[in-house]
Structure 1
Amino acid sequence: MSGDDKLDQPTPKSSLHPVYTVTNIQNKVRVLDGTKVSSASWVNLFTLHARGYKVLHLIDGTPPLPEDDTLYDGWYEIDAHVLQWIYGTMSDELLPRILEHDSTAQSAWNRVRNIFLNNKGAHAASFELEFNNLKLANLPSFDAYCQRLRELSGLLKDVGAAINDQRLVLQLVRGHPKEYDN
């Protein structure tokens, strides 16, 4: 058999599940802190990676395998990896609120979701207050000021209190010092 013949042969598919190829989930999904990284952004990134690594079924509400299923041990091990991903992408403040002994990825996912869904009104009020009171003088540069307004606009959208572009521009102008009135 020549070297060219080997190229025509099908290669056996690896039996290693894609979840085992992730060595540091924080390289793929940023740490959820609720301010710099919003829950909506985190959920979007996390579900994208869960789909790509073929583990979305562990967090989308699909029932777990019964313990007497012959595939249960493999399912349980992969679920533990996804649970580690969730825990590994939580801020130090959020981790104690979702960390639970003998948890599944689905139950941890639900705890994260509940933290943010149950507090939408409070988050909206807090973000709205900061948005309305933000001034250029409070930040080191014009770029930082614009970035923070944009971040707050995104956070407000994530909690169901979206602001339109006109209001964003008005706040941008309103937050300037008197020297910029011209």
Structure 2
Amino acid sequence: MSDDDKLGQSTPKPSLHPVYTVTNIQNKVRVLDGTKVTYASWVNLFTLHARGYKVLHHIDGTPAPAKTDPTYDAWYEIDAHVLQWIYGTMSDDLLPRFLESESTALEAWNRVKNIFLNNKGARAASLEHEFNTLKLAQQPSFDAYCQRLRELAGLLKDVGAAIND
């Protein structure tokens, strides 16, 4: 028995990292499909949760510890959880574009970013054309028409071509 135990005190047990308390990330971050959930919305939700669960440093560009660092194994395990969060919040259509067998969370995060933000000009032109030519008659209802306009506006915002209200 330690001296602390004899005095009625016990040594504090190491606390569980908050990342281990997330059982289903989809309950917290919506699935990125590029339409209903835009890249910008997904990034905002994901980074909010990453900050709250103390793993933001896995996706913000902070370098990983060296493999010889005593904290590397714990970092690597937590990084695998963050990587699962990223993959777990991708739509089935998008996931194959990002999925790689040997990847860190930061590498996956950057792949998602590059796919959504590359070719901004061409993507913006295509989205602006669709936004400007969308007709109410093409939609099943007025609500569907408004929803599609909101979706297109969100997608345009993602590529830096925001539409004014």
Please indicate the TM-score interval, normalised by the length of the shorter structure: 0.7 to 0.9
Q: What percentage of aligned pairs have identical amino acids?
A: 83
Cα distance between partner residues in 1 of 2:100 and 2:147: 36
TM-score normalised by L of structure 2 = 0.87
Query: What does residue 137 of structure 2 align with?
Result: 137
Query: What does residue 106 of structure 1 align with?
Result: 106
Query: What does residue 148 of structure 2 align with?
Result: 148
Q: What is the aligned-residue RMSD (CA, Å)?
A: 1.7
Matches within 5 A, 1:20-39: 20-39=20-39
Query: What does residue 4 of structure 2 align with?
Result: none
CA 1:72–1:153: 2 relative to 1, 3 Å: same
- How many residues align? The count is 155
How far did residue 27 of structure 1 move? 1.0
Instruction: Confirm or deny that 1:88 pairs with 2:88.
Output: yes
Cα distance between partner residues in 2 of 1:40 and 1:50: 15
**Rg comparison, structure with higher value:** 1
Cα distance between partner residues in 1 of 2:153 and 2:84: 31
Q: What amino acid maps onto 1:83 in structure 2? A: L
**Which runs of no fewer than 5 residues in structure 2 stay unpaired?**
1-11
Query: What does residue 54 of structure 2 align with?
Result: 54
Q: Could you list the runs of 4 or more consecutive aligned residues of structure 1 that deviate by over 3 angstroms after TM superposition? A: none
Cα distance between partner residues in 1 of 2:28 and 2:80: 18
How far did residue 123 of structure 1 move? 2.2
Query: What does residue 179 of structure 1 align with?
Result: none
Cα distance between partner residues in 2 of 1:126 and 1:37: 18
Query: What does residue 173 of structure 1 align with?
Result: none
